[in-house]
Amino acid sequence: MFTFDSMIDAVQSSKKTAVNTFVTNDKVKAALIDFIDAQTEYTKNATKVGMDTFNTVAKETVSAVQNAAKFDYSKFGEGIMKAYQAQTK
């Protein structure tokens, strides 16, 4: 199954490379790397929850469509007609 983790890691590692290249102060560099790591963790978790939600909604939609296809509409129509005829008598 496709995951977004590799794309997230690619973007975040490019950020770390930029920080390591251009930031010379070690304390600032460490703080920025910690921030990037926190972004990575949050983004991966948010993506996972989003994908899980999408998969659940898709699965339930397919289930509802399958159940609707199993419904006997002709029998339902006969029941409605019987109820209508009994009411008009």
pLDDT > 70: what percent of the chain? Answer: 97
Segments making up each domain of the chain, as ranges:
5-88
Residue 22 pLDDT grade (very low, low, confident, very high; cuts 50, 70, 90): very high
Q: What local confidence, expressed as pLDDT, does residue 76 receive?
A: 83
Considering only CA atoms, which of 32, 11, 6 is closest in space to residue 20? 32
Q: Cβ contacts of residue 11 below 8 Å, gap of 6+?
A: none
Alpha helices by DSSP H, 4-25 = 5-22
